[in-house]
Amino acid sequence: MRKLGLDMTIFVSIRAAEHSEEWLKKLTDAVRDIPEVVEFYRMTGDVDYLLKLRVESIGAYDAVYRRLIKTVRLTDVSSTFSMEEIKCTTASR
């Protein structure tokens, strides 16, 4: 991803504003239309959804954030910026 200029990895934790099929479809449609989102998970525990983003800058992240909150009503959004990627693989043993 570094060769593409996508040096920053950001994990975005989302708490849902509601739990309905209609709301989930809106979120899913919004996330699918954002190319910077490379992974998207429904979680258990305090966080409802987790996104993994690859972006070129904090400004690029902010644009994704603004696009997301404009599309879907959220209760809480919390972002964590990766300092270093230690292991990343798709191999399964």
pTM: 0.86
pLDDT classification of 1: cutoffs 50, 70, 90: very low
| 7 domain-assigned | yes
Is 69 inside any structural domain? yes
In the prediction, which pLDDT does 80 show? 96
Residues forming beta bridges with residue 17, ordered by sequence position? none
Single-letter amino acid, residue 6:
L
Q: What percent of the chain has pLDDT over 70?
A: 94
What SS3 class is residue 56? coil
**Rounded mean pLDDT of 58-80?**
94
Domain with 19, as residue range(s), is: 2-81
For residue 3, is pLDDT > 60?
Answer: no
Evaluate whether residue 25 is within a structural domain: yes
Q: Over 70: is that where the pLDDT of 2 sits?
A: no
The CA distances from residue 10 to 5, 19, 28, 58, in Å, are: 14, 25, 18, 10
